[in-house]
Amino acid sequence: MAGKTTSSKAATAASKTLRSGETGSKSKSAGGSALSQKETRNTKNTSSGAATKASKTLSDGRSAKASRSAAGSALSQKR
State residue 35's pLDDT score: 80
Rg (CA), the chain: 11
State residue 50's pLDDT score: 86
Helix axes 8-19, 25-36, angle to 10 degrees: 140
Mean pLDDT for all residues in the chain: 83
State residue 42's pLDDT score: 57
Q: Domain boundaries in the chain?
A: 8-76
State residue 1's pLDDT score: 42
Q: Which residues of the chain, if any, have pLDDT below 70?
A: 1-3, 39-43
Q: Rounded to a whole number, what is the largest CA-CA distance in the chain? A: 37
Whether the CA torsion 56, 25, 64, 35 is positive or negative: it is: negative
pLDDT digits (tens, 9 = 90+) for 34-46: 888 776 565 677 8
